[in-house]
């Protein structure tokens, strides 16, 4: 099974300098960056090191998944945020679970042995709310439906016809996979604080966007 690492960036120069040396690049068949239009040198940083960067032809964090799935060639794609939130040590565990036959493996920040040092109390509440809502409405038993850190079989992802272009792509992926009886798995992670830069997600705005996405998926025929 061929694997691709897709690093998602938007103005993360400080973090990527710290991250690149510790990411297990060699376990992947290819490594690429999907960039949302960085103006802080992030793009040059990767290009100089021979890592291909694809600048999105349309904006949006959600669209970055779709664009990444189209540019990557692997059977499995690990999406990794270039901001320091995600623990590189989990990447291998996630790939191993995919090899067991799962379509998507989410790194959970709210499962057993999990922790988030990044989420504010409001964000934790929001995450718990959306987990509960998805589990109730779609019959899953997940503990984290919003984390960006996930490994996905590329064909499965492309079969979903993702519509979300914002921070609602994560939840849309989860719901559409449940509906299609795809196999989902979680591995526990610890979310660290971001390294430099600024968060692009806005808790309240993106909370509403997620709620709308869940309702669309519940009531759309």
Q: Does 125 bind ligand GDP (CB under 6 A)?
A: no
Q: Is 107 in the site for ligand GDP (CB under 6 A)?
A: no
Whole-angstrom distance, CA of residue 41 vs CA of residue 60: 19
**Distance of alpha carbon 8 from alpha carbon 181, whole angstroms:** 27
- Which window, 20-28, 87-95, 172-180, 199-207, contacts ligand GDP (CB under 6 A)? 199-207
Q: What angle do CA 209, 158, 134 make, to 5 degrees?
A: 40
Per CB under 6 A, the list member of 41, 60, 111, 196 interacting with ligand GDP is 60
Q: Which of 9, 42, 56, 85 touches Mg ion by CB under 5 A?
A: 85
Instruction: HSE, CB side, 13 Å, CA atoms: give it for residue 22.
Output: 13
The reply to whether 200 sits near ligand GDP by the rule CB under 6 A is yes
Q: Which residues pair with 190 in a beta bridge?
A: 115
Q: Quick one: which of 19, 31, 45, 85 contacts ligand GDP (CB under 6 A)? A: 85
Cβ partners under 8 Å of residue 121, min gap 6: none
Mention every residue, 6+ apart, whose C-beta is less than 8 A from residue 92.
24, 27
Of 176 and 194, which CB lies nearer to Mg ion in the complex structure?
194
Q: Which stretch binds ligand GDP (CB under 6 A): 29-37, 104-112, 137-145, 211-219?
A: 29-37
- Minimum distance from residue 199 beta carbon to Mg ion (Å): 5
Residue 8's binding partner out of Mg ion, ligand GDP, none, with CB under 5 to 8 Å set by partner kind = ligand GDP
Number of residues binding to ligand GDP, judged by CB under 6 A: 21
Q: Given the complex with ligand GDP, which of 14 and 183 has the nearer CB atom? A: 14
CA dihedral (129, 203, 65, 57) positive or negative: positive
Who contacts 132 (Cβ-Cβ below 8 Å, separation ≥6)?
A: none
Query: According to the binding rule CB under 6 A, does residue 201 interact with ligand GDP?
Result: yes
Q: What is the DSSP letter of 67?
A: H
Judged by the rule CB under 5 A, the positions of this chain that interact with Mg ion are: 83, 85, 194
């Amino acid at each position: 099974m061929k694997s691709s690492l897709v690093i998602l960036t938007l103005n993360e120069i400080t973090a990527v300098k710290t991250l690149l040396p510790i990411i297990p690049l060699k376990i992947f068949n290819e490594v690429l960056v999907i960039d949302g239009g960085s103006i802080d040198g992030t793009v040059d940083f990767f290009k100089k090191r021979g890592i291909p960067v694809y600048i999105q032809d349309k904006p949006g964090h959600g669209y970055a998944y779709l664009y990444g799935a189209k540019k990557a060639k692997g059977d499995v794609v690990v999406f990794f945020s270039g901001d320091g939130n995600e623990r590189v040590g989990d990447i291998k565990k996630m790939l191993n679970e995919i090899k067991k036959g799962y379509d998507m493996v989410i790194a959970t920040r709210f499962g057993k042995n999990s922790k988030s040092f990044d989420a504010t109390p409001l964000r934790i509440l929001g995450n718990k709310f959306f987990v509960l809502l998805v589990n109730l409405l779609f019959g899953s038993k997940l503990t984290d439906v919003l984390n960006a850190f996930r490994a996905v079989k590329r064909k499965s992802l492309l079969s979903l016809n993702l519509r979300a272009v914002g921070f609602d792509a994560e939840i849309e992926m989860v719901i559409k996979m449940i509906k299609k009886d795809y196999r989902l798995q979680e591995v526990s992670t610890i979310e660290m604080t971001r390294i430099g830069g600024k968060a692009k997600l806005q808790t309240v705005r993106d909370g509403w966007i997620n709620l709308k996405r869940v309702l669309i998926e519940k009531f759309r025929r």
